[in-house]
Amino acid sequence: MIDLVPFRARPCWHSHEPTSRVERISRSILNTSAPDSQPRTLPMPATSNPMSYSVHVDDIETRDYQRLREQTSWGAVSDATVTQSISTHLVCVIAKDPEEHVIGVARLVGDRMYAYVQDVIVDVDHRGLGIGTALVKALTAWLNDNSSGDGFIGLMAAHQTHPFYEKLGFVVRPADAPGMQLLR
């Protein structure tokens, strides 16, 4: 289990500011300054490929989720399970290419006091472009804007992904820290 420090330890932005924290975080990560014409759409970094990407706080369709999940080693789940799961998250953030194809997803589940990052997936053809970073930062920004700030964010991550999450402020729990899971 990897945890992020309690949100109160991080700066808090207020909703009266001209743009949402999600937008500010994504723009700062991606070194862009101009606000988008759609306030919930965030520019993604330019690469050698001239295509641009956007991040949206939005729900994901079951077929798009399943297509992305097939690119992981997580194993198959039924459409019914996916449909039920994606209807109960706190927030979902998706990345789209210029043709509006979903190329990334990240979800936050929990009750705002305890929140867990789930299903961070970026299409294999679009990895390494900062999309995963923008997705996770958008989730944490959303939680900071929509909670009291005295909880924590956790996640379960494969060992090979620890460096990615550590760059985003997550820390590996010590071996003697509490935490268990029920395997079914």
**In a domain? residue 133:** yes
Residues with Cβ within 8 Å of residue 136, at least 6 apart in sequence: 106, 117, 120, 165, 168
**In a domain? residue 167:** no
pLDDT value of residue 184:
58
**In a domain? residue 8:** no
**In a domain? residue 160:** no
pLDDT value of residue 148:
82
Residue with tokens 């198959």: 76
**In a domain? residue 173:** no
- The one-letter amino acid at 72: T
Give the integer Cα–Cα distance in Å for 9 and 48: 37
pLDDT value of residue 167:
93
91 contacts 139 by C-beta, under 8 angstroms: yes
pLDDT tens, per residue, the chain with 184 residues: 554 433 332 322 222 233 444 444 444 443 333 334 333 344 444 443 435 899 989 999 999 999 999 999 999 999 999 999 999 999 999 999 999 999 999 999 999 888 999 999 999 999 999 999 999 999 989 988 888 878 888 998 888 899 999 999 998 888 887 777 666 5
Which residue in 7, 53, 38, 44 sits closest to 25, CA to CA? 44
pLDDT value of residue 37:
33
Which CATH number fits the domain that encloses residue 21? Answer: 3.40.630.30
- Residues of the domain holding 67: 14-149
Give the count of domains, the chain.
Answer: 1
